[in-house]
Structure 1
Amino acid sequence: MPVTLSVAIITLNEEANLARTLSSVAFADEVIIVDSGSSDRTLEIAHSFPHVKVFSESWKGFAAQKNSAIEKCTGTWVLSLDADEELTPELQNEIRLLLPGNPSADAYMLRRRNLFLGRWIKRGGYYPDPKLRLFRNHSANFAPATRFTDRPVHETIAFDGRLETLNHDLIHHAYPTIEGYIEHMDRYSTLGAEILVAKGTTSRSWPAFFFNMRVVPQLTFIWNFFFRLGFLDGREGLLLHAYHSTYTSWKYAKAWNAARKR
């Protein structure tokens, strides 16, 4: 049976990113895109690339949407990507050489290089940021219902098999503008608060509320910016770690407010 590669991507108004992502996986045998109602040029861009199949589905949540894309893949291997990610030429070549050689692993972690305001953030816990993205399709370890864990945000693949890490980088064009980052953190802090509420971690007592709102964000900033050398990433590093600590306080505040309303 020939070795083939499918790429799974979910989209919503990704005209600024999609062409770059699709160009980096032009060597793949098929690309599956599940779009949830784009109103920009996302679909036009998708249809301009060969081997791309586009499906339109209503939004079901990150995990369910990504699982839907994976389930439509017919390749022997699946590469799951976000629309704002791209493979470096070195990673493209590594995957092209790896898959036909009967790899011993069932899945591979990719080293992710996160960009903030166009700068590669190398420290403070942001690199290499390994993500499980490349895996065998239709394996017993990848039942369709459990490929991505069912949670509101920061979904991950549940995997129990032989796992290795590739040598080259996946580039994440995460936050090209400050405005986009703040909007993103507002949305993700809401989703993160849902996880805290589900776990019962809602800072109901005054000491817990104070600790999570004041102490935890400051400790997070100190740990990542100073002890993990985030300050070496310049002004971009300072802004990223400062805003991330704010995101932490937003998350706990929203969880407390949701529990209070209940």
Structure 2
Amino acid sequence: MMKIPCSVYIITLNCGEWLQQTLTSVKEFDEVIILDSGSIDNTYSIAQSFENVKISHQDWLGYARQKSAALAECHNEWVLNLDGDEVLSAELADEIAQFIERNSGDALIVPFNDAFLGVPNHKLTKKHAKVRFFRKDKGVYDLSNEAHENVIISSELVSRAKHDILHYGENTIHFTVEKSNQYSTLKAQEKFNKGKKPNILKLIFVMQVTFFKSYIIRRNFLNGKRGFIGSMINSFYAFSKEAKLFELYLKKNNK
């Protein structure tokens, strides 16, 4: 069977829990590039069991720079980015293969089905989406982003995919809160570096606004108690970013 002419690139650090499923979902792709930053679990043994996978080490550069380095190692015209806790649905794999064959665009915005606490979201929950599949020469990472890295596409021929990437990583509240704490620190530093200043109104109202967006507008209420818990974590993440930005300016002004 002919491989899908696309390179998949993944950055990893101790991703053994989900990596088998991740790599199985892209076994029909031409190559998979894994850039690992120091795993001590079974990430390497899992990766080496797949014939289309090449894994190598790169000391941590930050999210955007690490993904940019992995992207540079890809050899195909088309590239797909996954994280080590994400699984490509069979339907999306077929959609990508057909998109390449038609050659009628340059990128796909892909929706995510997040399995918070091990359970996928209700089908009517509003999914977040981002560019994950594109022509290699049309995409570049914004290296000023400390977290929530994104690909900038130099083309207007961008479509939205019909099918999902399945995201399984946030299977415990402990992990989700730790990740939220890490990301809020990085985003506060990013805002500080760009000269953005803390805002008292944001500090007061950002939790309420974010909860409303997550629970009502994105329809997380359809996920029951999980949706409420997830929306509360999302709202505290938004508050943490603003509070940590305030902290950075407080330290700066007290020097």
TM, length-normalised to structure 1: 0.89
Deviation at 1:195, TM superposition (A): 2.0
Q: Is the 8 A contact 1:3 1:76 kept in 2?
A: no
In structure 2, the CA distance between the partners of 1:38 and 1:228, relative to structure 1 (3 Å rule), is closer
Amino acid corresponding to residue 112 of structure 2 in structure 1: R
TM, length-normalised to structure 2: 0.91
Deviation at 1:22, TM superposition (A): 0.2
- Taking the aligned partners of 1:90 and 1:3, their CA distance within structure 2 comes to 14
- The percentage of counterpart residues that share the same residue type is 35
Deviation at 1:259, TM superposition (A): 1.4
How do 1:1-262 residues align onto structure 2 when only pairs under 5 Å count? Answer: 4-99=5-100, 101-122=101-122, 127-137=126-136, 139=137, 141-142=138-139, 147-150=140-143, 151-161=145-155, 162-203=157-198, 208-209=199-200, 211-262=201-252
Amino acid corresponding to residue 254 of structure 1 in structure 2: K
- Taking the aligned partners of 1:160 and 1:120, their CA distance within structure 2 comes to 33
In structure 2, the CA distance between the partners of 1:159 and 1:50, relative to structure 1 (3 Å rule), is same
Q: Deviations over 1:16-68 (max 9, x none)?
A: 11111000000011110000111111111111111111110111011111111
What SS does the corresponding residue of 1:29 show, helix, strand or coil? strand
Structure 2 residues without counterparts, runs of 5 or longer: none
Deviation at 1:76, TM superposition (A): 2.2
What SS does the corresponding residue of 1:7 show, helix, strand or coil? strand
Tell which deviates more after alignment, 57-66 or 104-113. Answer: 104-113
- Taking the aligned partners of 1:36 and 1:83, their CA distance within structure 2 comes to 12
What SS does the corresponding residue of 1:112 show, helix, strand or coil? strand
- Taking the aligned partners of 1:154 and 1:90, their CA distance within structure 2 comes to 25
Q: Is the 8 A contact 2:19 2:46 kept in 1?
A: yes
- Taking the aligned partners of 1:10 and 1:228, their CA distance within structure 2 comes to 28
- Taking the aligned partners of 2:167 and 2:126, their CA distance within structure 1 comes to 11
Deviation at 1:220, TM superposition (A): 1.6
Deviation at 1:117, TM superposition (A): 0.6
Tell which deviates more after alignment, 43-52 or 220-229. Answer: 220-229
In structure 2, the CA distance between the partners of 1:77 and 1:236, relative to structure 1 (3 Å rule), is same
Q: Is the 8 A contact 2:126 2:219 kept in 1?
A: no
Deviation at 1:114, TM superposition (A): 1.4
In structure 2, the CA distance between the partners of 1:227 and 1:13, relative to structure 1 (3 Å rule), is closer
